[in-house]
Amino acid sequence: MGYREDVTRWHSMIFQVFTKGGDIGPLYRQLGQERVVERVISHIAELRGCLRACVKRAEDPSIQRLLNVLAETIDEKSSLSDMRQVLEHLDPEPAIKEVPSGKLQWSPPERGRLGPPVWSQIRLPYMGGA
């Protein structure tokens, strides 16, 4: 089974126990026998590998950075430890600045530097219809 099927089935099993007020013990043992934790870890590792493979194929540096950050955020061994580091990886020019109070303040990027939003550049093929 794939990730979606596995997780949907596990979610349904857990949901049923809680909605009926059942005993979680037997379900906990069943999930342990199915090695749920190991399987989720495996699914996440596969996703991480796919994201990293896409980084190598992407030509746009900003897309490469985004895919790399996504892969890092689902990696328990990641060197990214906080949102500041994530944002620094996404944009080499700092978008977050520390203000005198010691709090972080986000500065929206300059519009001209980014160009038009990606969604405005996408053209969907005409599929017919009314």
What's the DSSP call for residue 34? T
Report CA 124 to chain centroid distance, whole Å: 25
What pLDDT sits at residue 30? 93
The encoded tokens of residue 33 equal: 């026998």
Specify the pTM.
0.59
Q: What distance in Å separates the CA atoms of residue 4 and residue 126, rounded to the nearest whole number?
A: 30
| 43 and 8 Cβ atoms separated by less than 8 Å | no
How far does the chain reach from its first CA to its final CA, in angstroms? 39
Largest CA distance in the chain: 58
Instruction: Give me the tens of pLDDT residue by residue for the chain, a chain 130 residues long.
Output: 688 888 899 999 999 999 998 899 999 999 999 999 999 999 999 999 999 999 999 988 888 888 988 898 888 888 777 777 777 777 766 555 555 666 655 555 555 555 555 545 555 555 555 4
